[in-house]
Amino acid sequence: HQSATIGTAWSAEEGAARARRLFAEHIGGGPDGVWAAPGRVNIIGEHTDYNNGFCLPIALPHRTYVAARRRDDDKVVLVSQLDDSVLTWEGTLDEIAPGAVTGWKAYTGGVAWALRQAGHDLGGFEAALVTCVPLGAGLSSSAAVECGVGLALADLYDLGLTDSDPGRTDLVNAARAAENEVAKAPTGGLDQTASLRTIEGHALLIDCDDWSVRQVPFNLHAADLELLVIDTRAPHRLVDGQYESRRRACEDAARILGVGSLRDIGDLGAAVAALDDEEMANRVRHVVTENDRVTQFVKLLDTGRIREVGALMDASHDSLRDDYEVTCPELDTAVDAARAAGALGARMTGGGFGGCAIALVNRDSRNEVATQVANSFRNAGFVHPEFYVVTPGPAALRVQ
């Protein structure tokens, strides 16, 4: 069987050069600078964010690069290169608002609206965007654009938000508002927090109750490990309402159990016994055990036991498959094949019903794991998956 190809991220130099080239070709002249913001992958802690629980994402080495220039008027020019097509938009700041722009313009320009809503004084700008974050794969290309443009604007207009964690938290809120209110995608703040507040070489423990964070050393290289991301490219199925129904079950359960959120459940056995609805009890069991797995995972990382985290990844996937019921045949196949090929642990990541799985692998067995996963997809008649090897990269930053 042929071996699978594994995609790598652009270097900062390559990304910046591509962004500058696009800027020169479609806007003209040179930008004031180039900024880069990463996508993210969640290592463990799934469907816990809206239950005020814990999650543990890393910033990807895959980033969106934004070459931008300040203007003296209120004009806005947006250019984005996606594969072989170049998207362009020209307008004014006032024309970027909920209902006025949709789609890619909302994701890229919406943060300007959100920063102005938050009281910041902005003028016009020109921005050329290029990205090596795969779009729509669940690796948060949307947060990468929002955070990249947001950071560029904060720097160009000296908003004082780029160099401190409180400032970056304001940027998280603006990026999230762009996604929720302008792009109309009802997502939480996990993606933007990972993109803006992570330190290279670390996973970010996020407490989704108060959005406090802690940097947890995640040194794969020192342990001869790699993290393989498997984009299943599963077709979007009719999953409308599945996310909402899970959310509602969690809220209903919290109300029945008399807790503010499922995060506050102390005694899982008692909670499960108090619920008549078996499905609801299963949902609760996932959330409570998943929060516990995040805590255990972090404890292993804190004590230099990174090679022992695989069992927690496996347990997370099994819980998402059996109790939360958000996996799909492609995700289960990817995880099963990765484990069979020697991965230390594997799980789906993101919302589920498609998107990506991750596998923790010994460096020298990465190609074998990818090849076995690709073979199992071929045997099952699924489309060919994409593979990425990732390391914990830095948060959004100015690269030039």
Q: Min. distance of Cβ 55 from Mg ion in angstroms?
A: 15
Question: Given the rule CB under 6 A, which residues bind ligand ADP?
Answer: 64, 80, 82, 103-104, 107-108, 129, 131, 135-142, 145, 185
Pick 76 or 137: Cβ nearer Mg ion: 137
Q: Decide if 131 contacts 145 (C-beta within 8 A).
A: yes
Binder of residue 193, out of ligand ADP, Mg ion, none (CB less than 5 to 8 A by kind): none
Q: What does the alpha-carbon distance between residue 96 and residue 87 come to, in Å, rounded to a whole number?
A: 16
Q: Are 358 and 314 in contact (CB under 8 A)?
A: no
Cβ atoms within 10 Å of 280's Cβ, excluding its own: 17
How many residues contact Mg ion, by CB under 5 A?
2
User: In degrees rounded to 5, what are phi and psi of residue 277?
Assistant: -85, 115
Residue 338 contact partner, candidates ligand ADP, Mg ion, none, CB within 5 to 8 A by sort of partner: none
CB of 140 to ligand ADP, least distance (A): 4
CB of 183 to ligand ADP, least distance (A): 7
Residue 48 binds: one of Mg ion, ligand ADP, none (C-beta under 5 to 8 A by kind): none
Q: Which of 49, 155, 170, 191 is catalytic?
A: 191
Closer of 133 and 313 to Mg ion (Cβ): 133
Total residues belonging to the chain: 400
In the chain, which residue ranges form alpha helices assigned H by DSSP?
Answer: 12-26, 103-117, 141-156, 165-177, 190-197, 242-257, 268-274, 278-302, 310-322, 329-340, 366-380
Which residues fall within 8 angstroms of residue 83, CB to CB, at 6 or more apart?
none
* Dihedral sign (CA 57, 60, 65, 68): positive
Closest CB to ligand ADP among residues 173, 291: 173
Residues 133-152: x/- map of binding to Mg ion (CB under 5 A)?
Answer: -------x-x----------
Which residue has the closest beta carbon to Mg ion? 142
Q: Report the partner that residue 131 touches, choosing among ligand ADP, Mg ion, none (CB closer than 5 to 8 A by kind).
A: ligand ADP
DSSP three-state, residue 120: coil
Residue with tokens 């090849």: 371
* Cα gap 369→392, rounded to integer Å: 20
Q: How far is the CB of 249 from ligand ADP (least distance, A)?
A: 23
Q: Nearer to Mg ion by C-beta: 142 or 291?
A: 142
The binder of 262, among ligand ADP, Mg ion, none, by C-beta within 5 to 8 A per type, is none
Comparing CB distances to ligand ADP, the nearer of 114 and 145 is 145
In order of 48, 58, 343, the CA distances from 314 in angstroms are: 17, 18, 10
The token pair that represents 282 in the structure block: 């299963």
Q: Are 336 and 304 in contact (CB under 8 A)?
A: no
Min dist. Cβ of residue 287 to Mg ion (A): 22
Identity of the amino acid at 396: A
191 has catalytic annotation: yes
Quote the least distance from Cβ 49 to ligand ADP, whole Å. Answer: 15
- Binding of Mg ion at residue 349 (CB under 5 A)? no
* Residue number with CB closer to ligand ADP (138 or 392): 138
**Residues designated catalytic:** 191
Site residues, Mg ion (CB under 5 A): 140, 142
